[in-house]
Structure 1
């Protein structure tokens, strides 16, 4: 009975095997897509899809105008997303950052939905580039409803008495807004041209986008952000504090 496996998966398996066997060493360019497509007796689009799968896995890398190469393995280090008083071995957290803030930015529809405001309402948008050991490790774009902080000393997140990294919780507390919880939703994505240039990776490389929202005691969103982390370099680690009366439920 003929195999029901899509041709691109079969080709990806064979290319993976050939790379593992050392037919093409690390850093070596593979034959052109046209030549490989002819070898496997498939169309160029099928061969391209197989290579894109291996690029997503981190086995290969595409270089614009040059071809496809066997990628040099990159060590993935843990990047903590929370701190509960204990260290994560080998972990790396950003140690510096650059930021740019714009006020009175009309909220795009998807941001307005996350913040519970009307599309077009004024927001404060801040873009961040985070560094560790002077290397770019993370990007972030933060949005706050301007109605929450307008006329206060904390309107600009990185300026004023509570700027320079004090964070959303401390800033909001200073104006009487208590942040009660933070919700994060990680999802995989592909690096855009802008993200690739800022992070020093290739366009289309796998990244993790963390959609983060700070909510006050009434459930009102006071900030939402998208954090972008290169997947090939960082293993995102969530560390959760356990209260004295927490119980473990097994299902």
Structure 2
């Protein structure tokens, strides 16, 4: 998989891909992540990529020309399955969407900034618009990092145990059940006996029931879906 991220603040995105699981995935050649500074595609000496909006109003808008140049250059080299745009009014990003995107080959992620991008970018270049929550960030960079992390960890070979991602919260519209590790007793607080019984079928049944109960209590909306 290859992920190309278009941003006006590439330095904000460098750190997430230089540590932990994401770094190992890149080093193992399981994914390529490339950051593209939108200012490199500006047509003037001031590296301008934003301008005032037509009709007046507060806030600057990312211009269509540098975005067009960047996306067109990327597409001249390879085909892309998706051009994602991170925006507060996009489709809510979910585990299901992460699963779907993890099966793609090449993805472009465009980070919104200021008041957003010229609408013509959304009309003619973007294939899917995503948000990570009902709130507004100063830019789409952190959201792009979140989406990239959620996708990359699903790629075969990224996690030490490839079945681990299958038991994450939201995979079956259920939250994950409680988990425990050693010691079995600590300050009088004990691990449920079923987990130390060695009876795997009963353990799995217990975990499923716990997942259902936790979801009913904390996120009943998931069960409606």
Q: Under a length normalisation based on structure 2, what TM-score does the superposition of the two structures give? A: 0.19
More helix by share: 2
Rg larger for: 1
Decide which structure has greater strand share.
Answer: 1
| Greater relative contact order (Cα < 8 A, sep 6+) | 2
